[in-house]
Amino acid sequence: MQEQEHRIATQHGQLYARSWTPAGEAGAPIILFHDSLGCVALWRDFPAALAARTGRKVIAYDRFGFGQSAPHPGEWSIHFIRDEARLYFSLLRSALAIGRFVAFGYSVGGGIAVQCAAMYADACEALVTMSAQAWVDQGITDGVRQAQAAFADAGQLERLARYHGAQAHWVLHVWIDTWLSAEFSAWRIGQDADGIRCPMLVIHGDRDEYGSLEHPRHIASLSSAGGEVLILPGCHHMPQREYPELVLAAVQRFLRDQAK
């Protein structure tokens, strides 16, 4: 397994990425889109395991404002999901010469993956979402408020700073402020993402704190090529840590079936 760091110079500052390339790689690379508090480092050993199981190159990157990437350029917007696909993911594709790809998004990264699958429909050959939200509902806002209270405890922000450095406070508050804002309450996944044509695997835990089972069912309906829903019993919001083998096996089988 070859692991490589990529520090990409852009007009907005550095975009940080890491890739894992298995021996004898074949097929389009898998692009990982992280969650609201995430970054490359917080994927831990999942990308390497995913590359090994699928035989595909895996690329994860820190969105601007997160991890080792430069601060987010300009004002944060409630349209950040659309903006990520339209303005910033294209920089990664260009710098790393990514042609066809598989989009894999976790939590809000699932919304970004859906947006990318629609915007780059000719290049996205498959789409995987994991613990993704389809809209803003009471369960999600309650979960965000509970997390907000937990982050008030001593040491919690410092833990986030281990991964985001001086940007930790910004990372935490754009998440909380966005999801609890009246302006964002009308958001629905795919509202700016017409034309998804690739097959989709939608993974969700039946105890997810940030989305009922109505969310994966709706997400699976977005693709004209059909969507498969995998519900993990007893699983909360982090399937990649709670049930990594089930997730890896499901993605391996899904991509193998698409390649036939």
Of all residues in the chain, what percent are helix, strand and coil, respectively (each to 5)? 40, 20, 40
* Triad 36, 38, 44: Cα angle to 5°: 150
Residue 21's beta-bridge partner residues?
2
CB 195 within 8 Å of CB 124: no
Contact 255, 54 (CB under 8 A): yes
What pLDDT, on the 0 to 100 scale, is given for residue 193? 67
How confident is the model over 185-201, as pLDDT tens digits?
A: 999 998 866 779 999 99
Domain carrying residue 211: 2-135+188-259
- Whether the CB-CB separation of 28 and 100 falls below 8 Å is answered with yes
Residue 158 domain-assigned (yes or no): no
**What is the C-alpha separation between 203 and 228, in angstroms, rounded?**
9
The string of DSSP letters for 9-23 reads: EETTEEEEEEEEE-T
Radius of gyration of the chain (CA): 17
β-pair partners for 156: none
Backbone angles phi, psi at 202, to 5 degrees: -115, 115
Give CA–CA dist 222/20, Å, rounded: 30
Model confidence, pTM: 0.97
Q: Which residues of the chain have pLDDT under 70?
A: 192-193, 260
Burial 46-79 (b: 16+ CB within 10 A, else e): bbbbbbbbbbbbbbbbbbbbbbbbbebeeeeebe
Q: Which CATH number is 93's domain given?
A: 3.40.50.1820
Whole-number Å distance between alpha carbons of 201 and 17: 24
pLDDT at 260: 67
10 Å CB burial of residue 149 (0-12, 13-18, 19+) is exposed
Q: How many domains does the chain have?
A: 1
